[in-house]
Structure 1
Amino acid sequence: MATEAFEDIVADFEFLDEWEDRYRYVIDKGRAMEPLDDALKVPATKVDGCASQVWLHPRIEDGRFGFDGDSDAMIVRGLIAVLRALYNDLPVAQVGQVDAQAELARLGLNDHLSAQRSNGVRAMIERIRLVASEAA
Structure 2
Amino acid sequence: MDKRSRDLVIPPDVVGAWEACPFREGVFNTVLFDPPHNVRSGGYDPRFAMHRKYGTWASKTEAIIAIVKAQEEFARLAPRLCFKWCNTRDGPTLWVLLPLFEFWREIHRRMEKTKGQGNVRGRTFWITFKRRDPQTALSI
TM-score normalised by length of structure 2: 0.30
Q: Which structure has the larger Rg over C-alpha atoms?
A: 2
More helix by percentage: 1
TM-score normalised by length of structure 1: 0.31
Determine which structure has greater relative contact order: mean sequence separation of CA pairs < 8 Å that are 6+ residues apart, divided by chain length.
1
